[in-house]
Structure 1
Amino acid sequence: MLTIVRVLLTLIFLAVAGFLGYDMANYYLYSPWTRDARVRADVATVAPDISGWVDDIRVRDNQFVHKGDVLFLIDQERFRLALADAEATLAARHAQYLMLLEQYERRSKLTPGYSVTVETLDNARRQSETAAANYQQAIASRDTAALNLKRTEVRASVNGFITNLNLAKGTYASQGKPVMALIDSDSYRVGAYFEETKIPHIRPGASAEIYLMDGSPALQGTVSGISMGITDQDNKDGPELLSSVNPSFTWVRLAQRIPVRIHITHVPPGVLISAGMTCTVVIKEGAAPAIGRGLKKIMAAIFGTPSS
């Protein structure tokens, strides 16, 4: 009798271990979680739209700024003089246009061929039209000069954090050359790479928990999108425009990783997130079997306990 009990206990133990091992393997292979994830954010490079000497710097490295805040100033003296010159030219062109327009209007009231020749009238009309075009050109030059003066104040394009500040007062800033980076604080997200075997259990809108490597409390997020394609490493043309296919073995099949974007909805107080951080993502609404479900079925069959 004792031998039968030992055999039954051994069989039960092996069955429980087998089902538990199956559940753990099933969870590891198919449950939607991954350790291959990074915190990402949009980065706006800050570069002046005009060239000039840096007159003042209003920010420091890693400072938070709001959209529209002045980051630094470029010397404005040359641009003020250029605007004054453009406004003076505009006034002269306007006066010339009015004078030629009045001359044309006076001559147009005379009888062509008697009091004034047709050629003289045509010349007066063309001169007034040319003056009008010159006046419009002067307006555009004045507006360009005013815009250049306005662009001496380099402002933040988004809310975010200044980083990699590579600028000092008195240096010469060149047009279009980046001098600092601005990380958009409203664009923080997580880019997670899930194995293709786990993708069927992920849906847009599903809740997600994000665990940073520093052990801080979990961040909350939602799945905002699943990538519709990745690069096929075998899809390359050879020298003769034939497909270059790498040899593969049927018993070795590595699951491809598909990018999934996670929108961060809540960051616990005191938790610092930085673009580039490594994290683990767990999809809470995945449909993969949970660990222990097979074990619960065994317990229900043996002891009659309700299964869930």
Structure 2
Amino acid sequence: MQSPHPNSDGQTANSEADRRLADRSGLLVGAPDEREWAAALEMRSRIADSSEDPLPADPKSTSRGPRRRGRVARFAWEMSQTIATLLALLLAVVAALVIWDFYVTAPWTRDGTVRVQVANIAPQVPGQITEVRIVDNQYVHQGEVLYVIDPFDFQVALDTSKAQLRQAAADLQVKRIEAERRRRLTELSTSMEEKQLFVGSAIQAQAAFDAAQQQVAQAEINLRRTQVRSPVNGYVTNLLMRVGNYAQVGTNNISVIDTDSFWIDGYFEETKMAHVCVGDRAEAALMGYPDPIVGQVQSITRGISVANAAPSTQGLPNVDPVFTWVRLAQRVPVRIRITDVPAGIPLISGMSATVTVRGAEARGSGSWLHQRLARLEDRLFDTIHNRRPSPECVPRIGDESGTTAILSTPKPSTPLNPAEIDPALAPEMGKQQTGGPGSQAPPRHQSRRH
């Protein structure tokens, strides 16, 4: 049977060759349509023209190169994934150590409080309040008058004491003169018993004169105490007193916050106390203020309350039989002395603060980056190996001497000479140099007449 086309054998051979070429170029030939064949040939020619390297004659060599490059690429990808996994694991371990150090062992606490000393002022003399010179939350200086108590009764007491002092001074001068006159007489003019009586009367007059002086001094101090003054520099707080109230001795009626006594208490967990040293730099951030207050660790409390130490009704220790497996770390108060307060931050007693002790920055030397790296290295080392506190970190009991606060108090007045009170009563007493009322009698061989 003859073929319908004269060149059917040649066309079949050409189509077989074109199909092999299409397979080499990666094209799959489907239906034997002439248009599809033409499109495949055109695509093959475009790929051959765009390729720099000629198509190898051997089909095996064509597939060997991409396989090698694929294996190298897969190996590089697997290595990169392994390295990335190891780096992520290492970063996770370091982050876990840093977080553990920050939350467990780093010396910081959110349990901080601003503290201050409060002077509770009570009158030393009773009476009705006649004048109040202050208002609530007013700043007062040390020695400034806060209020005044009615001084009439105390002025009368002072005047009476001064009158009694003049009376005692006159009586003392007269008895001294009488005792001196009897001392100069011989035993023929007077007896020894009479001399002793006059000498004793002079001594009693001296005692009465001394007591009168003390009463005058007490009356003067009581009169000055009717003006109640502030013992410290600070702010008057919670003022409830008013004119007309009666002031009781020893009853507080005014409170003044001592502005020179502010400090911060940080309550650190006992697991962090190994990183707290006396003298370290400390920062306290108050709630609502971005800039921290700078201070210094001044002291560490040496004792806190223990519930098991409470005695029972029989005096025996009361021990709680319930003990849980979860043990909470006790908190130890640490006193922070304030050294620098940023502008615009008011110190108010009772405010909450986050306290952070930065001992590395305070004691370290070098640049900021060097201190940071050294601190991170120390923290990681302390986290892995438990830190041993330095013996000089916390002073021993009795190594530090505290400051002594002294309040000025009135002093007794200098004893007076009775001749200075009334010189015209006995002018010769100021001129004579006698041995006093207790002087010995003259020798018996002196003249018997005065």
Compared CA separation, residues 255 and 65, structure 1 to 2 (3 A): same
Amino acid corresponding to residue 134 of structure 1 in structure 2: A
Structure 2 CA distance for aligned equivalents of residues 280 and 247 of structure 1: 35
The alignment partner of 2:359 has SS state of coil
Pair 1:189-2:293 in alignment:
no
2:148 paired residue number: 73
Match of 1:285 among 335, 359, 362: 359
Percent sequence identity over aligned pairs: 37
The alignment partner of 2:148 has SS state of strand
1:9 Cα offset (Å): 2.3
Is the helix fraction higher in 1 or 2? 2
- The residue correspondences of 1:192-271 to structure 2 (distance < 5 A) are 192-247=266-321, 251-271=325-345
Structure 2 CA distance for aligned equivalents of residues 194 and 205 of structure 1: 16
Which structure 2 segments of 5+ residues have no match? 1-73, 362-373, 381-450
Q: Is the 8 A contact 1:31 1:289 kept in 2?
A: no
1:178 paired residue number: 252
Amino acid corresponding to residue 205 of structure 2 in structure 1: A
Pair 1:36-2:111 in alignment:
yes
2:157 paired residue number: 82
Which structure 1 segments of 5+ residues have no match? 295-308
Structure 1 CA distance for aligned equivalents of residues 251 and 315 of structure 2: 41
Structure 1 CA distance for aligned equivalents of residues 312 and 223 of structure 2: 55
Amino acid corresponding to residue 90 of structure 1 in structure 2: L
1:141 paired residue number: 215
Compared CA separation, residues 153 and 289, structure 1 to 2 (3 A): same
TM-score relative to the length of structure 2: 0.62
Compared CA separation, residues 286 and 227, structure 1 to 2 (3 A): farther
1:244 Cα offset (Å): 2.9
Q: Is the 8 A contact 1:211 1:218 kept in 2?
A: yes
Pair 1:100-2:171 in alignment:
no
1:203 Cα offset (Å): 1.1
What's the CA shift string for 1:170-198, capped at 9, x where partnerless? 21111111111011111000011111111
Instruction: Count the aligned residue pairs.
Output: 293
Greater relative contact order (CA < 8 Å, ≥ 6 in sequence): 1
Amino acid corresponding to residue 271 of structure 1 in structure 2: I
1:118 Cα offset (Å): 2.1
The alignment partner of 2:337 has SS state of strand
Decide which structure has the larger Cα Rg and report it. 2
Structure 2 CA distance for aligned equivalents of residues 176 and 249 of structure 1: 47
1:240 Cα offset (Å): 4.9
The alignment partner of 1:262 has SS state of strand
Structure 1 CA distance for aligned equivalents of residues 130 and 217 of structure 2: 23
Amino acid corresponding to residue 158 of structure 1 in structure 2: V
Amino acid corresponding to residue 29 of structure 1 in structure 2: V
2:37 paired residue number: none
Structure 1 CA distance for aligned equivalents of residues 335 and 125 of structure 2: 37
Q: Which aligned runs of 4 or more in structure 1 are off by greater than 6 angstroms? A: none
What root-mean-square deviation, in Å, do the aligned CA atoms of Structure 1 and Structure 2 show? Answer: 2.1
